[in-house]
Amino acid sequence: MNRAHSKRLMHGAWILSVAGLIAKVLSAVYRVPYQNLVGNTGFYVYQQIYPLYGIIMTMALTAGPVFVAKVAITSPDLTTRHQTLRRLTGVLAGFGLVIFLGNFAGATTIARWMGDAQLAPLIRVVGCMGLTLPLLAVGRGYFQANYSMVETAWSQVVEQVVRVAVIILVAVVAVRASWSHYRTGTWAMTGGVFGAVAATIIIGGSWLRQRHTPSTGINRVLGHDAGPSWRHLVWQTLTEGGALVLYAAILLILQLVDSFTVAKALVRSGVPVALAENLKGIYDRGQPMVQLGLVIATALTQSLLPP
């Protein structure tokens, strides 16, 4: 690795670190005004479904792009790389479609497993983000494979800014209009959809600009069967990609377990439903502190790493 290449790689890593820190701070801080506006029960409604959103966006914005970049970098030549990325887009589109249809068709069942059938509309909204999965994961992974991190960083920050803005706006409107907690939660979840669409626009616009640049544009691959097979890519996505998602979303998975167990356990122990929801909302108030702690720990760790 020559000096210029190493410098570009370090610069890209620094950009991604700063963008990731900004995004994590925004993702943690917005919950404080939101929960103060909607109350404990309103925060319970939102937090019950948030882990599902977080896991999907981990696939699209963090673990997914890392997996795609790894697959792209290991390709022996550009032709194989482009063919592999096209097939990988199809594989991830299939996974995204399964997420979308699964959330829509199984929303009521999932909500009942959580002990609250009224959560079904929120689950359906979250399912819509599965449709952005292939474009975000492959788009960001393509740029990361080319050591161009600016597009990834911008998409990450813009996604969080748009999402947080929509959530706070919804909370303010809901309080003034006296919306129910479930209606408020449903509209708040659309913030994730709008954020994902905004990130997709950023990535798509950058890809189109680069495509029309002769020196760096994407070459067309017509009639050339290069790259790994569809079956191999599906298996690689399930094993390697799945492992990355599990690693990156471990805290979200634990929160998802809470969504399926805490409120239901309280009700089964004899606590009234309304009080159980309120108590779960109080319990969830600690999540922003956990996230801020992780952000600070991550920042300190990165500052101690040698250049």
Number of residues assigned to the chain: 307
* Confidence check: pLDDT of 120 > 90: yes
What's the whole-number mean pLDDT along residues 36-54?
A: 92
Phi-psi region of 178 (alpha: psi -120 to 50; beta: other; left: phi over 0): left
CA–CA gap between residue 123 and residue 110 (Å, rounded): 8
Residue type at 130?
A: G
Question: Does the pTM exceed 0.75?
Answer: yes
More confidently predicted of 229 and 123? 123
As a whole number of angstroms, the distance between CA 84 and CA 230 comes to 9
pLDDT in tens, 153-181: 888 888 889 999 999 999 999 999 999 99
Question: How many angstroms separate the CA atoms of 107 and 18, rounded?
Answer: 36
Q: Give mean pLDDT, residues 70-79.
A: 83
Q: Which residues, at least 6 apart from 179, have a Cβ–Cβ distance to it below 8 Å?
A: 173, 187
Query: In one letter, which amino acid is 105?
Result: A
Task: Provide the pLDDT for residue 304.
Answer: 43
